[in-house]
Amino acid sequence: MFAYIVKRLLAGLVVLTLVSLSIFLLFWYGPSEPARAMCDSKTSNRCSPEKLEVFTEELGYNNPWASEFGTYVGGIVTGRDITVAGQTTRCEAPCLGLSYSTGKPVWEDMQSRIPATVSVAVGGAALYLVIGVPIGVAASRRRGSTADKALVSGFLVVSSIPYYLFALLAFLYFAVLYELPVIGQPGYVPLTESPVEWAGGLGLAWLCLGLWGCTAYTRYSRGAMVEALSEDYVRTAKAKGLPQRTVVYKHALRAALVPVVTIFGIDFGTLLAGTIFTEKIFDINGIGLWALNAVGQKDLPIVQATALFAAIALIVSNLVVDLLYSVLDPRVRLS
C-alpha cells in the first residue's frame, strides 16, 4: 500500500513536470512576446521596443529555456530573489515567480484563492452525492414506475441545459430579480472570518453546481443500483431473510457505489481545478477566475501556477479514488 502510494506520487511528479514544461515552452516559443505584460504594467502601457528588450533580458527569455526552467523549479523548492526593473523581490518557497501584472509573488495571491475554489468544489461535489445518490437509489427501487420515468426524463432536461445558462439564470432570478435572503448576495468570505457569510455567499453557487451536476449522479447511481439489485448476491441476501433495508443499503448500494465513486473522484478533481463559470458568475475570487484573467493578461507565472494546481488536483483525486477503490472492493489489489 505504502509503496503503491509512493509510486503513484512519483508518477504524479513526472506528470507535473511535463505539464509545467509544456506551458513553459509554449511561452518560450509561442507567438507572443512573453515580457510585454510585465513591461506594460511597469511602464503604464508605454512599453517601447527598447524597454521590452530590457524586460525580456531581465525575465530570462534570452537565456536557454532549460536553465530558466531549472531556476523556476529550484525556486519552487527553495525560493529565490527576483530582480525586475532594478527592484529585487524576495519570493519565498514555493516560489512560482512574480505576477507580470502585479509584480507580487504568485504564491501570495494563490494562497488566498485556493480556499475559495476548494470551498466551491467541496460544497458542490457534496451536493452531487447528497442529492444525486438518494434520488437515484429511490428511482432504481421503483424502476419502470411513473415516478421513475418522470424523474429520469426531468433530469435529462435539466442536464441538457448548458451549465453557464443554468447558473446565469439562477443568478438572475435569485440574486438580482428576487434577492433571496442569506444566499441572495453571492461572493466569497473566508470561512475563518464568518462561517455564516461563507456559507451564505457560496450557497447559490453550491446549489447551482449541485442541482445541475447531481442529475448525472442520479443517472449513474440509478443505473448501478438497478444492476446491483439484479445481482445474484442480492437475491441471496433476500433469501437469507434479511430485511429489505439491509438488502438495499448494505448489499446492493455498497456494490453500486464503486462506479459512482470513480466518476466522483474525476469530477471532484475537475471542480478543484477551477470552476470558471461558477466563479465568474457568482463573483468568487478562486483559481478558475484567476486563470481566466491571467490568460487575458498573458501573465505567464499565474497561468503556469494555475495549470500546476489543476494537475495536482487531478492527480491527487485520482489517487484517492484508487485508494478508496481498494477499500470498497476487497478484490482490488493495489500494485
Partner 1 sequence: MTEPFLVVEDLTVKFPTEDGLVNAVTELSYSVEQGRTLGIVGESGSGKSVSSMAVLGLHDTRTARITGSIKVGGQEVVGLGESKLRKLRGREVAMIFQDALAALHPFYKVGSQLAEAYLVHHPSASKRDARRKAVEMLDRVGIPQPDRRVDDFPHQFSGGMRQRAMIAMGLINDPKLLIADEPTTALDVTVQAQILDLLQDLQREFDSAVIIITHDLGVIAEMADDILVMYGGRGVEHGPAKEVLTRPLMPYTWGLLSSVPDVAGDTAAKLVPIPGNPPSLLDPPSGCAFHPRCAHSDKVQGNLCSTALPRLEPGPSGPGHLTRCHLSDPATVFETEVLPVIAPDLLEES
Q: Of residues 94-133, which lie at the interface with partner 1 (CB under 8 A)? A: none
Cell of 69: 526552467
Given 31, 86, 181, 330, the residue binding partner 1 (CB under 8 A): 330
Is the torsion defined by CA of 123, 124, 125, 128 positive or negative? positive
Given 126, 199, 263, 328, the residue binding partner 1 (CB under 8 A): 328
Q: Of residues 207-236, which lie at the interface with partner 1 (CB under 8 A)? A: 231-233, 235-236
**Smallest distance from partner 1 to CB 228, Å:** 10
Given 3, 241, 245, 335, the residue binding partner 1 (CB under 8 A): 241
Is the CB of 84 or the CB of 253 nearer to partner 1?
253
**Smallest distance from partner 1 to CB 266, Å:** 22
Q: Is 331 in the site for partner 1 (CB under 8 A)?
A: yes
**Smallest distance from partner 1 to CB 243, Å:** 7
**Smallest distance from partner 1 to CB 231, Å:** 7
Of 242, 253, 231, which is closest to residue 136 (Cα–Cα)? 253
Q: Is 335 in the site for partner 1 (CB under 8 A)?
A: no
Q: What are phi and psi of 182, to 5 degrees?
A: 65, -60
Which pairs count as long-range contacts for 174-180, CB under 8 Å and 24+ apart, including other chains? 174/204, 175/204, 180/204
Distance CA 80, CA 93 (A): 7
Q: What are phi and psi of 84, to 5 degrees?
A: -135, 130
Distance CA 227, CA 237 (A): 15
Q: Is 240 in the site for partner 1 (CB under 8 A)?
A: yes
Q: Is 138 in the site for partner 1 (CB under 8 A)?
A: no
Distance CA 328, CA 320 (A): 12
- Which positions lie near partner 1, rule CB under 8 A? 231-233, 235-244, 246, 251, 254-255, 328-331
